[in-house]
Amino acid sequence: MIPHAVDEGTRRTEVLQIAAALIANSGLRTSMHEIAAAAGIQTGSLYHHFESKEALLTELLRRYHTELDRIGVHTLDTLDDPDTRPAFARIAELGIAVARCAVAHRAAIQISLYEAPDSNPELVRPTVILEAMYQTLRAARWSGYVRSDVDLRMLAERICQTMLQIGLDVVRRNAPTDQLAIVLCRIMLEGFSTGQPRDDELDRSAAFVAADQAIQAWTDDSDVDDRTAHIRAVARAEFGRRGYESTSVRDIAAAAGLGQGTRFRLIGSKEALLASIMSSFNEKVDAGSKRVLRSQASPVAKLDALS
């Protein structure tokens, strides 16, 4: 297996580990004051280690990227070593290593997905791990395991991203990391069906038609006269553009063209707005999923339609 990296036990590292645990559990809204309290130090002492919250987040990202690069370099350096294992075992080993890294750096996964600091040009997207997965897949093609018509670059990207998402609790749901990584690799590489339905067959299935009808029935809140729905649409756009943590109620009100008094009456809190957005999203997805599951279609067609 790919070896783990050993981190130095400095006080700065301890603070980072505490911050990572808090952010992983409570999200990016975790404050510097909360981190300092959990570390048993004064907030001023925390700023001695990190000049700002962005600097702390940047360091968490840097360590996560360094670990991914280490895994990628190790894989590339050992690709030519004698290995009698099946091709899937070699791909799954790399997938497991990436998944373990994602779980160990859960806070950095959240940062990279939702709030990556953009002021530091050094924090570019890791590419070594993608090259390592690509070369591993190339070796699998040479052995006859991967078909010649598969886009290896795209497949490498998909496998790596899926393994990294295991670091999110909503995906992992306390499942064993290694087991989940193997199952997901197996699905992506070998599928979950004994048959191979054609794309045009799936596109004509009753399940796909049900999914398409559900999507067509969804309305864009920005086109609705209801002011509450309009504010929800504006908030959704602002959260997507600025990030949830960086968006204030004042920003949403300004984008929606609301005055001071109307703002407090219609918007309320940012948390309530987010809850309303998620509730609307969940209702639409739930209704669409039920229509798909009730359709007269095969399980494979229903899974395709749900996707």
Q: What is the per-residue pLDDT across 23-63, written as a single tens digit (0 to 9) for each?
A: 888 888 888 999 999 988 888 888 888 888 888 998 999 99
Architecture category of domain 199-306 in CATH: Orthogonal Bundle (1.10)
Gyration radius (Cα) of the chain, Å? 23
Instruction: Look at the alpha carbons of 102, 104, 105, 107 in this order and tell me if their dihedral is positive or negative.
Output: positive
Contact assessment for residue 91 and residue 159, using Cβ atoms and an 8 Å cutoff: yes
Same fold, 54-190 and 199-306: no
Task: List for the chain the helix, strand, coil content (%; round to 5).
Answer: 70, 0, 30
Contact assessment for residue 130 and residue 160, using Cβ atoms and an 8 Å cutoff: yes
Q: Which amino acid is at 151?
A: D
pLDDT tens digit sequence for 267-287: 677 788 888 888 888 888 898
| Structure confidence at residue 6 as a pLDDT band (50, 70, 90) | very low
Q: Where are the domains of the chain?
A: 54-190, 199-306
Which residues, at least 6 apart from 129, have a Cβ–Cβ distance to it below 8 Å?
68, 69, 71, 72, 98, 160
> Given a cut of 80, is residue 121 above it in pLDDT?
no
| Model pLDDT, residue 72 | 96
Query: Residue with structure tokens 């992992």?
Result: 172
> Given a cut of 70, is residue 263 above it in pLDDT?
no
Q: Does domain 54-190 have CATH number 1.10.357.10?
A: yes
> Given a cut of 50, is residue 168 above it in pLDDT?
yes
Instruction: Look at the alpha carbons of 62, 127, 69, 147 in this order and tell me if their dihedral is positive or negative.
Output: positive
pTM of the model: 0.69
| Model pLDDT, residue 8 | 46
What φ, ψ does residue 144 adopt, rounded to 5°?
95, 5
Tokens of 108: 């950095």
| Model pLDDT, residue 122 | 55
pLDDT tens digit sequence for 79-104: 988 888 999 999 999 999 999 999 99
| Model pLDDT, residue 280 | 83
CA distance 100 to 270: 34
